[in-house]
Structure formats: C-alpha cells, structure tokens
Amino acid sequence: MKQMTLRHTGLVLLTSLCGGALAAEGDALKRAVDGAVRPLMKEHRIPGMAVAVLADGRMNFFNYGVTSLADPRPVTKGTLFELGSVSKTFTGLLGAYLVAEGRFAYDDPVSRHMPALAGSAFDRITMVQAATYSAGGLPLQFPDAVQDEAGMLAYFRDWKPGHPAGSVRQYSNPSIGLFGNVAARSAGAPFATLMEQTLLPRLGLSDTYLTVPAAAMGRYAFGHSAEDQTVRVSPGMFDAEAYGIKSSSADLLRYLEAFGRAPADPALGKAMVDVQQPRYRVGPMQQGLGWEVYSYPVSRQDLLAGNAREVSFGVQPAGPMTPIEGPRLINKTGSTGGFGAYLLAVPERGIGIVLLANRNYPIPARVDTAYTILEVVQGKQP
C-alpha cells in the first residue's frame, strides 16, 4: 500500500510539473504575441486582429479588438477575414491537385486547355509560368474595361509579352487567375465548385469560403479603409482565383498544420509537396505555386527582402532555382481594400503563424511581427 501511495504521489507530482511547464510556455508565448501585436495595432490603427500560432503540436489563439468600428463585436478565432492574395496558395494547391489527378501537366501550353486562346502568345506560355507570374509581363491587375469573360478572352488574345516567358517575375492577378481558371476547365468544372466542393473539404476546412453563407455572415468582419469607412471586397474578374477567399484563424491554422502531415488522399499529398517546390529564384525568395519559399532557417532581413515592395510591384529577373534539401519556410501575404493577412509555416518543424487584421497595413510590419513570434517559437524547440 505504501509503495502504491508513493507511486501515485510521484505521478501526481510529474503531472503537476508537466502541466506547470506547459502553462509557463503558454504564458511566455502569450506575452510575446501581446508584446508584438498590441503596439502594431496601435501604430496602424487596426480595429481587430486574430492571431494563431502552431507550436509543439499545440494550437494557440490570441484575439484582439473588434470586428467593426461601427458594430464593435469582439474578434474570436471564428471571426471571418478576407485573405486577399493568400487565396493564391489555395489556387496553387487546387492546380497541383488536378495535376496529380492527371487533368493537365505543368508544362502544357495554356491554350491547350483554353482553345479560345489558340494562336495567341499563350501557345508558348505554360501553365506553370502562368501560375508563377512568369508569363512575360502580365500586369498586376486587368484594365478596368475587362469586366466579363468575353473581355478577358479578348484581352489575353491581344496581349503581347514584354519579356520571354520564364525570364522575369511580375506579380499578377490575371496571371495566376488564368492558371486557376484554365486548371478548372481541364477538369470540366467551374473553379468555385472545385474549390468549395473538392479541395476545401479534402483539407478538412469547414470555415473557409469563396462565398460566405448566410449562417456565417454574422462572423464576417468588416474591413476598414484609411478613413475608417467599413469596406468589403468587390467582385471582379478572377476574384475567386486570385483574392476571393474568406476564413478564420482557426481554419487557417488547420490549413498550415495539414502541410506537416500526410493526408489520406495521395493526390492531395503530392500536391502539397508540389506547391512548396521552388520554380525560380528572386533574391533570397524562391517562387512556389502560390507560396513563396525559403530554406529554413531564414534571417529576418531575408524574409523582409523577399516581401519587399519591389518584389511585389516590380519586374524582377527570374534566376535559376536552388534545390532545398532540408526544412523550408513558406509564406504569403494578402490584402484587400480593408483587410491585411499573413501566413507563415515551417511544415517540417510543425510551426505555423496566422495574422489576420481588418485593416490593410504595411507588409513589412506583418513580416516583422510574425518573425518576432517565430523567434519565440523557435526558442521553445529543441
């Protein structure tokens, strides 16, 4: 009896010590996130933020402020935010999934799957070049006159590359939007249908949408303009493919976690590897499908350089990619008129960071804040 009592006492003590250690780690992470996020919100007048951190197999959620200045409800891990160009990571993954299913090949000419573009420059531009903004100089946005499919097709038929395909990176919604649209055509279904009825369910994401359902509208935050007007994203050509997804910090952390484990669907597993493969290099950053990729660990300076304004808005030479043998860091920024998002993950280390805000604030501030959180998470790992 005495031996059993001692054993029981030891187990209770061990459990208490482990619980205390976990609580201490959680407190340290909370202090770090609070210390990074609260000054950020004050400096940039951000009404509300949802922050999620995956570390050591645990999901941590930190919520700040309100969903709208006009109707101030508290932000939660279920609040829906517009993701802007973070949507491109889902488009890249859907395309890679269709490749894994044999619907098309990365090196297929775009016009092979969109016959309306036969005889145009897209006879010599591949699907992967469209996906990675290296078609030869497609602009950031369509001209205002492009409002429907007929206008889109006319624009692409008339467009002439300013550079050889594959030679430069010029970040472009029409480019990756075309990739997503044509990839869906190869499968014989609309892009939105494939995204909402195939990819998102296979990822186990039940709170991520192109069109927010009526039952979830009460959780959909309002964005805020520089003048504090409430705004939400407007429809546009290739909006679903390039910037149309809305999601919560809880669902997005599940999304990042999925990159660190093998899914049951082999095609999805192959696709999740494919999107992280470098296609070419621009400075310290290597371009994947939707994701931007770095060898891990990466310095704060290099991560900021890869997300610099000239990379997003300039024309950059596309240099040869460098194979990554060890862990990699993937990241993506996204913005709409009233929202700012940033996702970062190190899948091989089980690390994920989600920053969602209902104001479009500077990208360097997002990267810097996430890196500060990353340093704390890295410090906890062996």
Contact yes or no for 108/185 (Cβ under 8 A): no
Which letter does DSSP use for residue 48 in this model?
A: E
- Decide: residue 167, CB within 10 A, 0-12 exposed, 13-18 middle, 19+ buried: middle
- Say whether 150 sits in a helix, a strand or coil: helix
- Decide: residue 195, CB within 10 A, 0-12 exposed, 13-18 middle, 19+ buried: buried
Catalytic residue among 85, 120, 134, 186: 85
85 is catalytic: yes
Contact yes or no for 291/92 (Cβ under 8 A): yes
How many other C-beta atoms can be found within 10 angstroms of the C-beta atom of residue 338? 25
- Say whether 224 sits in a helix, a strand or coil: strand
The DSSP line for 297-348 is S--HHHHHHHT-HHHHHSEEE-BPP----S-EEEEEEEE-SS-EEEEEEEGG
Contact yes or no for 71/224 (Cβ under 8 A): no
Which letter does DSSP use for residue 220 in this model?
A: B
The residues near 346 (Cβ < 8 Å, ≥ 6 apart) are 296, 327, 328, 329, 330, 352
- 356 closest CA partner among 380, 379, 333, 374: 333
Q: How many residues would you count in the chain?
A: 382
Contact yes or no for 206/173 (Cβ under 8 A): no
Which residues are known to be catalytic? 85
